[in-house]
Amino acid sequence: MNNSIALKSILTKEIQRFTRIWVQTLVPPAITISLYFVIFGSLIGSRIGEMGGFDYMSFIVPGLIMMSVITNSYSNVASSFFSAKWQRNVEEMLVAPVPNWVIVAGYVGGGMCRGILVGLIVTLVSLLFVDIQLHNIWVIIATVTLTSATFALGGLINAIFANSFDDISIIPTFILTPLTYLGGVFYSISLLPEFWQGVSQVNPIVYMVNAFRYGFLGISDVSLVTAFSVIIFFIVTLFTIAMVLISKGIGLRS
Amino acid sequence: MTYALEISGLEKTYKGGFQALKGIDLTVEQGDFFALLGPNGAGKSTSIGVITSLVNKTGGKVKVFGYDIDTDLEKAKSFIGLVPQEFNFSQFEPLVNILVNQAGYYGLSKSVAIQRAEKYLKQLELWDKRDEPARSLSGGMKRRLMIARALMHEPQMLILDEPTAGVDIELRRSMWDFLKALNEQGITIILTTHYLEEAEMLCRNIAIIDGGEIVEDTSMKKLLAQLDVETFVLDLQVNLTLSTLTQFAEQSKSIAYRVIDDHTLEVDLNKSQNLNQIFEQLNTANIEVLSMRNKSNRLEALFVSLINKKSSTTKAKHQSAVVGVN
């Protein structure tokens, strides 16, 4: 059995899915990010002045790109895997000799492709508003890749447990969005009172946004080693959970 | 000898406590055309679900071409092609993508997958629809799509769970021919169906499952030989008159018959009698027969009697248990 072909099949199917409905998947982030730039960057940002030694617009660009990557990686896998459960075409993979890790890797890979592609689109849109600096391209690539993998895994676990389409919007609405907004996208956590700085340490998105911002601007509220350790910890944990759930057939086999 | 399918002591109890399979044993030989029949809720789809790993069993063993699904699941899966009861493909994908992806899950290269997709879409008369999304197909086309999909990796055993449900008679017949041709090529076929005529026509061996237990497991010939009485409906050329009927009644004292209307007779034929005797007596009574047919499918009569027997045994057991408790 050639697992690489099975993996490629799942990945191709996933990429075909989100590109087939590009108006729903690729255009909205570009519009949303443009609005953020106009409102927070140009209108409000010009009154804020500098943040972390950079003008506000330049400061928020990495966070906004990362926000799009997180949201799209998560929602791609959550909606695609849940749709496959709902239409029962997930059974096409379950009856075939596809190892569980290939199923996980295929869906997560699809989510990462959408997240990174949306990240690129948003980066291109941001060039219309601000000159983007590059401090360390490898940190940018590593952070975006690992972050999209983390949230694609999260989306997969959400879809495994989901019993209705409502269930795949609850976590993004009530957990993901607040964590992202409180994750230092719009501000440096050093501005927060000490207590809230401590609380922010348990928010994984703080580490992702700051590592990503370091790649662009060379500034970060947390150390890179800590940031990558946290991200890798989440990837390993979520991958293990996803594998156990699929192996046991939770939400998939009766 | 390695069986295509070997099931022993298979049990499935669902979370709510419902026991769908109560330790069934079953073997299917390689190259067989096997019918798995039973009323709704008998355990047919659960059995198929366990064999194809869509349902987790709670006990027993399943081997596919000698490979135990507990230890060699991926190898066992590679032998099976499944045509499920419900449509389970993405409604939004074009047919050719569905088939090519499915082949990919079995490790087939894209070039081989495209060739096979063309082959099976043409054989199942879906080639013209290859680029259309699956949701645009009619019910019969969707069933054929699932057969094409199940054949993409050219499995040695094809399991079809009510493949002709809701399919018109013309299409059903063409599907029968297609399945017969596959079986002649050596593919083992396991079929569940509610059309007993279909099972009788296609299958060599049969198991009947009811209440999660196998109540019969034999060859079609042996099962049909159990039928004591067959009822034939005779359509007559001319109106029956009192005199012809009286004459027929005098000659055919050993034959049970009923007058349905003045053009129709129903005759019960038991194993010791033959059709020649009846025709001889009808001839003598000047009753001309235009056509003749079985009143019901032979397998249907046996099926009903076996299920009824099981049901009355269960009731009796239940009653004696209740008496015992009292």
* Nearby residues of A62 by Cβ (< 8 Å), 6 or more positions away: A209, A212, A213, A215, A216, A217
* pLDDT score of B311: 64
* pLDDT score of A113: 97
Buried b (16+ CB within 10 A) or exposed e, B293-326: eeeebbbbbbbeebbeebeeeeeeeeeeeeeeee
Q: Is B104 exposed, middle or buried (0-12, 13-18, 19+ CB in 10 A)?
A: buried
Residue B266 confidence class, pLDDT cut points 50, 70, 90 = confident
SS (H, E, C) chain A: CCHHHHHHHHHHHHHHHHHHCHHHHCHHHHHHHHHHHHHHHHHHHHHHCEECCEEHHHHHHHHHHHHHHHHHHHHHHHHHHHHHHHCCCHHHHHCCCCCHHHHHHHHHHHHHHHHHHHHHHHHHHHCCCCCCCCCCHHHHHHHHHHHHHHHHHHHHHHHHHCCCCCHHHHHHHHHHHHHHHCCCCCCCHHHCCHHHHHHHCCCHHHHHHHHHHHHHHCCCCCCHHHHHHHHHHHHHHHHHHHHHHHHHCCCCCC
Helix locations, chain B, DSSP H:
44-51, 73-78, 95-105, 110-123, 139-151, 169-184, 196-202, 220-225, 242-251, 275-284, 298-325
Q: Which residues pair with A83 in a beta bridge?
A: none
Residue B326 confidence class, pLDDT cut points 50, 70, 90 = very low
* pLDDT score of A12: 93
Read off the DSSP letter of residue B30. T
Q: Which amino acid is at B142?
A: K
| Closest listed residue to residue A60, CA positions, set A33, A34, A35, A41 | A41
Residues of chain B with pLDDT > 70, as a percent, come to 91
Distance from CA of B105 to the nearest CA of A (A): 4
Give the closest of B74, B90, B103 to A89, CB-based: B90
Quote the CA–CA distance of A62 and A185 in Å, as a whole number: 8
Query: Which chain B residues have a beta carbon less than 8 Å from that of A89?
Result: 88-90
pLDDT at A1 over 70: no
Quote the CA–CA distance of A63 and A220 in Å, as a whole number: 12
Residue B322 confidence class, pLDDT cut points 50, 70, 90 = very low
pLDDT one-digit tens code per residue, A187-220 = 888 888 888 888 888 899 999 999 999 999 999 8
CA torsion, ordered B291, B297, B298, B301, to nearest 10 deg? -130
Question: Mean pLDDT across the stretch B146-152?
Answer: 95
pLDDT at B181 over 80: yes
pLDDT at A254 over 90: no
Residue A173 confidence class, pLDDT cut points 50, 70, 90 = confident
Helix axes A56-86, A100-126, angle to 10 degrees: 150
Q: What is the mean pLDDT of chain B?
A: 86
pLDDT at B47 over 50: yes
Helix axes A56-86, A3-20, angle to 10 degrees: 110
Quote the CA–CA distance of B288 and B308 in Å, as a whole number: 37
**Residue A62 token pair:** 């990495």
Residue B313 confidence class, pLDDT cut points 50, 70, 90 = low
More confident residue, B173 or A244: A244
Distance from CA of B190 to the nearest CA of A (A): 16
Q: Which amino acid is at A201?
A: Q
pLDDT one-digit tens code per residue, B126-136 = 999 999 999 99
Question: Mean pLDDT across the stretch B189-201?
Answer: 85
Sign of the Cα torsion A124, A217, A215, A195 reads: negative
β-pair type (B33-37, B188-192): parallel
More confident residue, B173 or B322: B173
Distance from CA of A120 to the nearest CA of B (A): 27
Quote the CA–CA distance of B242 and B262 in Å, as a whole number: 10
pLDDT at A174 over 60: yes
Numbered residues of chain B with Cβ closer than 8 Å to any chain A Cβ? 14, 49, 52-56, 73-75, 77-78, 80, 82, 84, 86-93, 97-98, 100-109, 149, 153
Query: Which chain A residues have a beta carbon less than 8 Å from that of B109?
Result: 5
Interface test mutation site (partner B, options A17, A89, A250, max chain B beta carbons within 10 A): A89
pLDDT one-digit tens code per residue, A29-70 = 999 888 888 887 777 877 887 887 888 888 889 999 999 999
CA torsion, ordered A89, A93, A95, A96, to nearest 10 deg? 140
**Residue B326 token pair:** 């009292």
A22 CB near a chain B CB, below 8 Å? no
pLDDT one-digit tens code per residue, A94-105 = 999 999 999 999
Buried b (16+ CB within 10 A) or exposed e, B1-25: eebbbbbeebbbeeeeeeebbbbbe
Quote the CA–CA distance of B191 and B202 in Å, as a whole number: 9
Residues of chain A with pLDDT > 70, as a percent, come to 100
Question: Mean pLDDT across the stretch B88-104?
Answer: 93
Contact (CB<8Å) A8/B104? yes
Question: Is B35 in contact with B209 (CB distance < 8 Å)?
Answer: no
The values of phi and psi at residue B153, to 5°, are: -95, 15
* pLDDT score of A40: 78
Question: Mean pLDDT across the stretch B292-312?
Answer: 71
Q: Look at chain A and count its residues.
A: 254
Contact (CB<8Å) B91/A87? yes
* pLDDT score of A50: 80
Quote the CA–CA distance of B206 and B191 in Å, as a whole number: 9
Chain A (60-89) residues lying within 8 Å, Cβ to Cβ, of chain B? 83-84, 87-89
Residues of chain A with pLDDT > 90, as a percent, come to 62
More confident residue, B251 or A153: A153
Q: Look at chain B and count its residues.
A: 326
More confident residue, A227 or B245: A227
* pLDDT score of A172: 86
pLDDT at B186 over 90: yes
CA A160 distance to own-chain centroid: 18
Question: Mean pLDDT across the stretch B15-41?
Answer: 91
Q: What is the mean pLDDT of chain A?
A: 91
* pLDDT score of B317: 60
Contact (CB<8Å) B90/A84? yes
* pLDDT score of B298: 66
More confident residue, B27 or B304: B27
* Nearby residues of B76 by Cβ (< 8 Å), 6 or more positions away: B62, B63, B64, B65, B67, B68, B69
Query: Which chain B residues have a beta carbon less than 8 Å from that of A12?
Result: 101, 104
From residue A253, give the alpha-carbon distance in Å to each of A91, B48, B50, B53.
9, 13, 10, 8
The values of phi and psi at residue B23, to 5°, are: 80, 55
* pLDDT score of B270: 76
pLDDT at A118 over 90: yes
Q: How many beta carbons lie within 10 A of that of residue B99, not counting itself?
A: 27
* pLDDT score of B249: 76
